[in-house]
Amino acid sequence: MPKIQIATRESQLALWQANEVSRLLRENHPQLTVGLVGMTTEGDRFLNASLASEGGKGLFVKELETSLLANKTDIAVHSMKDVPYKLPEHLGIHAILKREDPRDAFVSNDYASLDELPLGAVVGTSSARRECQLRAIRNDLKIIPLRGNVNTRLKKLDDGQYAAIILASAGLKRLGFGERIREFLSIDHSLPAIGQGAIGIECRDQDQATRDYLASLHHPETALCVNAERMISTALEASCHLPIAAHAIIDQDQMNLRALIGDPETGTLICAQHQSHVDDWQDSCQQVVTQLLANGGESLLARLR
């Protein structure tokens, strides 16, 4: 009987994602046996430190990729927003599931919306992208770093360390915490992270049998949008700690691609947008990158790096 071993982090959200992929594989291929191999990554070991200082979000996928290259596992399941734009040789993202809600979520026990927060309120977020966009809306807020898994972050809020926290809607919904969301932040106010809300499946390029199994899970529209967003990251050579956002939406045969680079010190946002036919998505990416760099992004990126 054919078997697929899934490499996964051991956080609650990562296990939910791996189990969802396992369920879909078994549903589509009843002959398959699917097992999970839990791993603790470098990113999990540094939950109280800045990701940028420890090496970036790639720390969440490194061990999983090592197991793939060593043939110890067959696939690795990732949140696409955690996947660096450069992948190891011989590995690729060979399926992307239909995207969950990509928006950021405002979570608070005392306030119904971002606008209701009092002057100087303490807000928690782990993301430079979110921080610079928050400063552009409310430069009076005191923004404090917030690390840890979803449960840990919610507990810190409940313990009174923050007036509000900003999290990804997708993770909250997947873990059954959707009722904790007080407000969904519009993409006009908080452009999502590249790949936010999408689950990707990585495997060895030469493992055609596994790739054939994964084909039934692939959602082409989500994949096209995520690939466009990731092309922005690639073109800007963006590491995860840089405050860069990109989000693509397809409506019929049109792709609307938006991106920004933010200055976390001033809250200044350099924004770009382009709409094109889906067949011209790569040209649209180039148009957006050109706009960003021409409007001051080149010098801002040089300073941030």
pLDDT in tens, 249-261: 999 999 999 999 9
Q: What's residue 55's pLDDT?
A: 45
Regarding the domain delimited by 104-184, which CATH topology (the fold level of the hierarchy) does it fall under?
Answer: D-Maltodextrin-Binding Protein; domain 2 (3.40.190)
CA-wise closest residue to 21 among 87, 32, 104: 32
Q: What is the per-residue pLDDT for 54?
A: 42
Residues in the chain where the model's pLDDT stays below 70: 41-59, 239-240
Residues of the chain with CATH 3.30.160.40: 234-304
- pLDDT score for 267: 79
The domain made up of 234-304 has a fold known as Double Stranded RNA Binding Domain (3.30.160)
**168-194 per-position pLDDT tens digit:** 999 999 999 999 999 999 999 999 999
Torsional class of 199: left (φ above 0), alpha (ψ -120 to 50), beta (otherwise): beta
DSSP SS3 for 203? strand
Spatial contact of 80 and 199, defined as CB atoms under 8 Å apart: yes
Q: What is the pLDDT of residue 303?
A: 87
Count of CB atoms within 10 A of residue 52's CB? 13
| CATH architecture entry for 3-97+195-218 | 3-Layer(aba) Sandwich (3.40)
Q: Which of 20, 4, 10, 9 is nearest to 199 (CA)?
A: 20
Question: How large is the angle between the packed helices 150-158 and 12-28, nearest 10 degrees?
Answer: 140
| Catalytic annotation present for 279 | no
pTM for the full model? 0.91
Task: Note the pLDDT of residue 48.
Answer: 55
- Among the listed residues 44, 74, 82, 110, the single catalytic one is 82
What local confidence, expressed as pLDDT, does residue 44 receive?
53
The amino acid at 46:
F
